[in-house]
Chains A and B, each alone.
Chain A
Amino acid sequence: MKLFALIIVIMTGAALIYSTLDMPDWGDPNSPASLHVSPRYIEKTIEETATPNAVTSVLADYRGYDTLGETTVIFTAAVVCILLLRRIEDDKTL
């Protein structure tokens, strides 16, 4: 069973590595992200969000949902840590 799990992990890893070969180069000006999304944010940030820092405007305004999700992920991590690690000998301590 462990061998089966190892084979699955290796296959998944190989598929992921294979898929990275098709990704655009780092900082490639012709990649889709640099052609559509980034110029839009850079040009319209001041006009649409009145924020001088483009990073903040993307983080908190354009992708506010994403940041809310990140916060929820951290919240979930803490809840799971408490559930898994916390040991309560007598119930009065909590």
Chain B
Amino acid sequence: MIRLYNDLIIQTVCRIMIPLIQLFAFYVIAHGHYSPGGGFQGGCILGASFILMLIAYDINWIKRRFSENKNVILIALGVFIYALVGLLCIFLGKEYLNYSAFQKLIPIDIARVRALGTLIIEIGVGITVMAVMVSIFLNLITFGKHEKGEV
């Protein structure tokens, strides 16, 4: 169990670093189509930023902004987005997860359509991975109680 205490230096540094970490996570997710990266890696970085917030600040502070209900919904939402994209491809007349089917909806270059389809599923994967990281960490660190422990 981590000791929870307020440290001005840690909190200030986290306050500066967390937006940058999250921005980098979004970059990794969004640029995963053309460079190393993608949903799993970006989601991990995004989850790590929330975990850093959890470590630096009070757990109740986090629970007010990022409730467990919303977190569990996010876990399911990512997988749902992924499966929905696949189903959408079927309804548009191509195979499951064949992103070129989106060309019927958005008439642009085939490479761009495929990049768009990949981006949507990467966002779904990223949402799931982020929420799962936060959920597992919260459950492990508080022994499943989700409240401030005494050291």
**A contact residues vs B (CB 8 Å cutoff):** 49-53, 55-56, 59-61, 64-65, 67-68, 70-72, 74-75, 77-79, 81-82, 85-87, 89, 93-94
Please tell me if the beta carbons of A87 and B144 are within 8 angstroms of each other in the complex.
Answer: yes
For A94, the closest partner residue in chain B by CB is B68
Tell me what chain B mostly uses at the interface: helix, strand, loop, or mixed: helix
Residue numbers of B with Cβ under 8 A of A are 32-36, 38-40, 68-69, 72, 75-76, 78-79, 82-83, 86, 96-99, 110-111, 114-115, 117-118, 121-122, 124-125, 128-129, 131-132, 135-136, 139-140, 143-146
Taken together as a complex, chains A and B put the C-alpha atoms of A72 and B121 apart, in Å, by 13
CB distance from B117 to the nearest CB of A (A): 8
Q: In the complex, A75 Cα to B135 Cα: how many Å?
A: 11
- Choose among A60, A67, A68 the residue with the greatest number of B CB atoms under 10 Å from its CB: A60
Q: Is the CB of A74 within 8 A of B132?
A: yes
**Which residues on A sit within 8 Å (CB–CB) of B115?**
51
- CB pair B78–A68 under 8 Å, yes or no, is no
Are A78 and B38 neighbours in the complex by a CB distance under 8 Å?
A: no
**CB pair B114 A50 closer than 8 Å:** yes
Please report the C-alpha to C-alpha distance between residue A57 and residue B136 in the assembled complex, in whole angstroms: 30
- 11 contacting pairs across A/B (C-beta < 8 A): A49-B114, A50-B111, A52-B34, A56-B32, A60-B122, A61-B114, A65-B97, A67-B82, A81-B135, A85-B144, A87-B144
Shortest Cβ distance from A51 into B: residue:
B114
